[in-house]
Structure 1
């Protein structure tokens, strides 16, 4: 009988390509060789399915078989992909530098976010060195209705767009401060529109205060938020507002980085009169 732990690493995806990528994510975390059976035990996938997936990855150069013909390791193509990504990911490096400088200036944890469906996705985060902190790593997701950045993303939408997005989403109460009434949330969003910034006042985690702004986008709607997060014992709303100028400067710097990363427009060919 298999001893697979089906809730340990679930390989999900709507297409075979997505499931292969999900399997690669599992493999990328390994620092040792692995076998087909070890992946079966880890993921709970049927052995024939995993065998087929490993063959595809091996044939593409993403994986390679070791000398004993049982163990697998990362292939040269996968290593080149990782190296090329790191060498050319100057946008992420530049944005992370802005984030780190903001943390040094305000002394609290800061993060960059984007809207993903009805959730806020943490793209990057730098933690404060202060002993009391809340750990929310890149890749974390928070419902938009109880996130400072989420309120800003929602505020860019029309009322009908917001209601359509939130119609089937439960406005879950994470704390006693969470806004769970759609009309109360709409009133908060109107305030956010006037202010240009938003708070999460212990709405997602008890004891956590957050203030956020959007990185300006000269061509329209922004999908990049920047936020400061701190325990309420160190930061109240007035202290957060004192940090707002630094937050806005950092957001403007990130906007310049994003704008500089856009490809040059292709010139239209001249036509003879």
Structure 2
């Protein structure tokens, strides 16, 4: 058993070393004005040419680098541009959303969240905290389940069916409260309703003391890129009361969407 653990630790160290080396090569390639050759990268890193070649093959397979067919030099790949665009969009989203999140929070004196979907989980990328004595404790950067949160259901409802099926298969539908939807077909029917009405309700499905209403945020193409939610302790709002706030949340979500280029015509 001790020998097996030692082997696992060694394998983990080797994987981390490989990742570290590959990222080092990628950084050098990005810094070079006219790309890098295998010989140059080997000299700069102290790695054998065979190791550099193997790492570059992996980076190429993921489109992180590309080899110029004429010079054989390696250049940054288009995948880096795609990743950078995703980061910039998130930064721009937060910038454009902030005034609206603050206004909605001040108008209702309840907590407001901005969230995106990442690998099947919800990530809260911004938050405006209620000044109420009793409020929800959450954190920017925190991950949460998608199938039982308001923002998560809004984001799942926008996915193509095959992507939704894959997420359900991979992540499962764990139960958090007695109201959590744990049956795939029931969830799909529920998400169809979310798409039709344009908002989602979390009726104590993730936390027994929390209710929230969430609406989608769209980009210039009409694609759902994020969700905004209003979160209220269950003792302060019934389901009917939280549902009555949906038009208000939608108003602010649409404001943010328009700032992101959505015109309403691309739906």
TM-score (structure 1 length as normaliser)? 0.61
Rounded Cα–Cα distance in structure 2 between residues aligned with 1:17 and 1:205: 43
1:99-135 per-position Cα deviation (integer Å, ceiling 9, x unaligned): 0110111221011110101101101001100111111
Q: Please give the residue correspondences for 1:236-247 in structure 2 after superposition, counting only pairs within 5 Å.
A: 236-247=238-249
**In the comparison of the two structures, how many residue pairs are matched?**
181
Q: Find the residue that maps to 1:194 and give its secondary structure.
A: helix
1:125 and 2:130 equivalent?
Answer: no
Q: Which one has a larger percent helix, Structure 1 or Structure 2? A: 2
Match of 1:193 among 183, 192, 195: 195
Q: Find the residue that maps to 1:146 and give its secondary structure.
A: coil
Segments of structure 1 that go 5 or more residues without pairing to the other structure are 1-11, 21-88, 261-273
Q: Find the residue that maps to 2:225 and give its secondary structure.
A: coil
Residue 94 (structure 1) shift: 3.9
Residue in 2 that maps onto 1:202: 204
1:56-107 per-position Cα deviation (integer Å, ceiling 9, x unaligned): xxxxxxxxxxxxxxxxxxxxxxxxxxxxxxxxx7763442221011011122
Residue in 1 that maps onto 2:143: 141
Q: Please give the residue correspondences for 1:43-62 in structure 2 after superposition, counting only pairs within 5 Å.
A: none
Q: Please give the residue correspondences for 1:1-273 in structure 2 after superposition, counting only pairs within 5 Å.
A: 15-16=19-20, 92-259=94-261
Residue 255 (structure 1) shift: 1.3
Determine if contact 1:106/1:243 at 8 Å carries over to the other structure: no
Rounded Cα–Cα distance in structure 1 between residues aligned with 2:121 and 2:101: 21
Instruction: Check 1:174–1:96 CA distance in 2 against 1; reply closer, same or farther (3 A cut).
Output: same
Segments of structure 2 that go 5 or more residues without pairing to the other structure are 1-14, 25-90, 263-267
Rounded Cα–Cα distance in structure 2 between residues aligned with 1:17 and 1:99: 41
Rounded Cα–Cα distance in structure 2 between residues aligned with 1:178 and 1:18: 42
